[in-house]
A and B are shown apart, each in its own frame.
Chain A
């Protein structure tokens, strides 16, 4: 029962991803070719609202529904891991046309070949786990 809320939030998110076309390979290609404002508008407006909301949460010290601190921990400072990891991620995002949220959305929409993307992503995660200590972070 307590998992129902997560299922509902996920379902909402899935519908948003599909209806915004952020889960479309075409839109991702278009974004990286700077061919239209659409995806920049989607991410930009989410971000603008996100920044305002998080500032309000911090200034008014708003807590979770269980009166705990919200999960807004600062990320560890570094450059290589974010830059190299980011570039590798971007290469994959543009090729597969789906990032880790939309790959599930597309699977639900019934496009079976996305299974290869999900399988590849699991393999990539696994290999990162194995090589982690040898990589610059």
Chain B
């Protein structure tokens, strides 16, 4: 029964992501998760502060269902299909533990120092997580897409703009872990 709980290797996971994109294309939609954030802003009355949210968001309710499904999938996978631990490379696990005192690699799915429910209102974590989310939301809309919209959908369609965006993702991501983590953590 161990195979049920074991993580999927990259060559299983990658094709499944492509399959998700093709399912959506086949029913006339586009694979792009960050659009849901704009839809939510429109649904809660964002059109009062910016025209950017003045559109018929009800047409995008299908994508909110995809996001809700992702939430459900996360619940099912974590509850029934996983041991909820992630084995990263020993070098990385060691580095996280020694430099940042993040010790859960190999035992946890997410670092408890950041994501344990007991620390929900811990101010330092709260600020870091809101900041991370803020950059994700602002950047995704500015770039016109996130990992699913650019790195998967856009690059699959050989779009140069998506290549520029993905290069940006990696510039930002490496700057964060190489230069800003030592300051933030």
Q: Which residues of A contact B (CB under 8 A)?
A: 3, 5-33, 35-51, 53-54, 57, 64-66, 68, 70-72, 74-79, 81-130, 132, 135
Does the CB pair B24–A113 fall under 8 Å? no
Contacts of B105 in A (CB 8 A): 26
The total of Cβ contacts below 8 Å across the A-B interface reads: 503
Given A110-B75, A128-B137: A75 and B161 interface contact (C-beta under 8 Å): yes
Contacts of B174 in A (CB 8 A): 32, 90, 94
A21 to B88, CA, bound (A): 10
Does the CB pair A47–B155 fall under 8 Å? yes
Give the residue name and chain of the B residue nearest to A57 (CB). B25
B164 CB to closest chain A CB (Å) equals: 4
Give the residue name and chain of the A residue nearest to B112 (CB). A111
Contacts of B14 in A (CB 8 A): 20, 41-49
Does the CB pair A9–B23 fall under 8 Å? yes
Partner of A99, one of B20, B26, B33, B46: B33
Partner of A126, one of B49, B109, B135, B184: B49
Does the CB pair B86–A21 fall under 8 Å? yes
Contacts of A10 in B (CB 8 A): 65-73
Given A76-B161, A82-B164: A91 and B175 interface contact (C-beta under 8 Å): yes
Chain A facing B: main interface SS: helix
A54 to B130, CA, bound (A): 36
Contacts of A128 in B (CB 8 A): 52, 137-138, 141-142
Given contacts A12-B20, A16-B17, A111-B115, 16 further A-B contacts (CB under 8 A): A10-B66, A16-B13, A19-B82, A26-B96, A29-B88, A45-B11, A65-B28, A82-B165, A85-B144, A88-B138, A89-B140, A93-B172, A100-B136, A113-B120, A121-B140, A124-B138
Does the CB pair B77–A14 fall under 8 Å? yes
Q: Which residues of B contact A (CB under 8 A)?
A: 7-18, 20-30, 33-34, 36-38, 40-41, 46, 49-50, 52-53, 61-63, 65-78, 81-82, 84, 86, 88-89, 91-93, 95-96, 104-105, 108-111, 114-117, 119-120, 125-126, 128-144, 146-148, 150-162, 164-178, 180, 184
A32 to B178, CA, bound (A): 8
Contacts of A33 in B (CB 8 A): 92, 95, 177-178
Does the CB pair A120–B131 fall under 8 Å? yes
Partner of A11, one of B76, B119, B141, B171: B76
Does the CB pair A108–B78 fall under 8 Å? yes
A30 to B116, CA, bound (A): 20
Does the CB pair B52–A129 fall under 8 Å? yes
Partner of A35, one of B76, B89, B164: B89
Contacts of A39 in B (CB 8 A): 10
Does the CB pair A109–B109 fall under 8 Å? yes
Does the CB pair A90–B134 fall under 8 Å? no
B133 CB to closest chain A CB (Å) equals: 2
Contacts of B166 in A (CB 8 A): 86
Question: Considering the complex of A and B, which 10 residue pairs feature the smallest CB-CB distances, nearest first?
Answer: A86-B168, A10-B69, A14-B73, A90-B172, A120-B133, A124-B137, A85-B143, A45-B14, A92-B135, A41-B10
